[in-house]
Chain A
């Protein structure tokens, strides 16, 4: 750490403070505008704070537009994506704790899939799912993103740092491999499950491109897709757009503030093996 004196520290603090203020201006402007009426926003000299705080924009989202349905879909999809955590954890456990034929080749193959851009897979996957009738289904939205190399990698790292003795002891007691995974390994992995769970939730909540492609029936729209539709249909109603955006952004910011310790700890790429 470069050590600095008090004066330098204050100067750095001021620089970061001003920069930080610019960073959150979009959020503040979004939230303030969401509580204004649209006529107030398009008026010639709008004030910073709403003249009269109104909830009409949010009411319109849920009563006249379909945001209730979009919210339900987003929650269902997010919950379904949690199954992926279990799949990643199992694969990470398998790669970390067993020696088997083809292990290294398979693991490198898994890592190699990280290089494949979504633009290459989206057309073939759409055609495949269309062929088996999974367009406009929750399963079709969730399935392609259920597992991922990075998640498997993180679980493998975690499990390879756990001593083999934990599992040997259970094995001596006559426990089967699946019992060991569910009753010993998974409970041990609670910290990483928490991080991955939060990231899966944020990922599910924010997912956009794939739901847009695979669901063309409004009944299956997620919040992101619905919001994009809203922008197209109510392009001049800025208050309504800001209410929709705030409804998507604020819950994630709150979850982030609550779980920040877990989330921020997940980024040390140079540590471990």
Chain B
């Protein structure tokens, strides 16, 4: 006889933790976003004042918040397609090859994903060093007569430099998801196509890529959510500069919350980001559903 109470004991620890650290905080964030909560308020709750929607109206007209939104959109528009296309491409190439060498390449491409982002950001800052004797990239460019490029110092280039690093690091995990999905595609589909005289490129175009639809959708959604929260790279490498050109929404929230201690203001920013993430996810789901209907 199963006990009636036992399951509650099993799930209680996890549910209590999730309640306090995931669910309750949303409501607290909502409340403090309507106040002027700051360091003074932290010491003495009576000094917290209700502000209505003032934080929201202020933040939406704050030039650096607007800049951070534009930058984040830029990161998403360039970064997400790059990560999805490259990780799918590598997964397909590795899968076509098979054998020891190709399995080893899978490890190589995955390795950046598990490394510490702070350590890696420091390494890349060193690689991006503008001097062509210290920075490896500029030194390599110098040997072929190019550069030097001000990778992190030029406002027009800095965003792209951070994207290069984040793509390098983001490929691995998504490549694995595609690899796992590739092994699930039935062999008979390719055999049939081959009999019909389809070339290899046609097989990739008309069998492989359509069959990867579910994992592509999963990868797009998770990558999109990840890039909307882009934080460590600009935090460690550029501190959002030069001239706020790399400032992301997450970095804006962190800066206002924990460096300037404007908790109310930062909470308002974080909730705007949350709404954007939910809308982006729902939008993706809707597109996915529509496509499924069309194919059926």
Residues of A within 8 A of B (CB): 1-4, 8-9, 12-13, 15-17, 19-20, 23-27, 29-30, 33, 41-46, 87-88, 90-91, 93-95, 97-98, 100, 103, 106, 109-110, 113, 115-128, 130, 143-147, 149, 152, 171, 176-178, 181, 202, 205-206, 208-209, 213, 223-225, 227-228, 231, 238, 241-242, 244-246, 248-249, 252-253, 256-257, 260, 263-264, 267-271
Contact = CB atoms under 8 A, between A and B. Distances in A.
Given A90-B13, A100-B7, A269-B215, A144 B136 contact: no
B32 interface: yes
A122 B258 CA distance: 10
B122 A231 contact: yes
B214 to A, nearest CB: 6
Contacts of B184: 268, 270-271
Contacts of B182: 1
A266 to B, nearest CB: 9
Interface of B: 1-4, 6-11, 13-15, 17-18, 20-26, 28-29, 32, 37, 42, 90, 93-98, 101-102, 105-112, 114-120, 122-127, 129, 133-134, 136, 168, 173, 176-177, 179-182, 184-185, 187, 190, 194, 200, 203-204, 207-208, 214-215, 218, 225, 228-229, 231-232, 236, 249-250, 253-254, 257-258, 263, 266-267, 270-271, 273-274, 277-278, 281
Contacts of B37: 127
A186 B267 CA distance: 40
A117 B207 CA distance: 35
Contacts of B181: 268-270
Given A16-B90, A123-B266, A242-B126, A228 B118 contact: yes
Contacts of A249: 115-116, 119-120, 123
Given A1-B95, A98-B6, A119 B122 contact: no
A23 to B, nearest CB: 6
A245 B181 CA distance: 34
B126 A241 contact: yes
B190 A2 contact: yes
Closest 7 CB pairs of A and B: A94-B10, A98-B7, A91-B14, A124-B25, A124-B28, A177-B6, A245-B119
Given A123-B257, A224-B118, 6 more contacts: A2-B204, A8-B200, A26-B124, A94-B9, A123-B29, A228-B236
B236 A231 contact: yes
Contact of A119 (B13, B42, B273): B273
B263 to A, nearest CB: 5
A224 B281 CA distance: 31
Indicate the member of B118, B133, B273 with the most A CB atoms within 10 Å: B118
Contacts of B123: 26-27, 29-30, 242, 245, 249
B133 A43 contact: yes
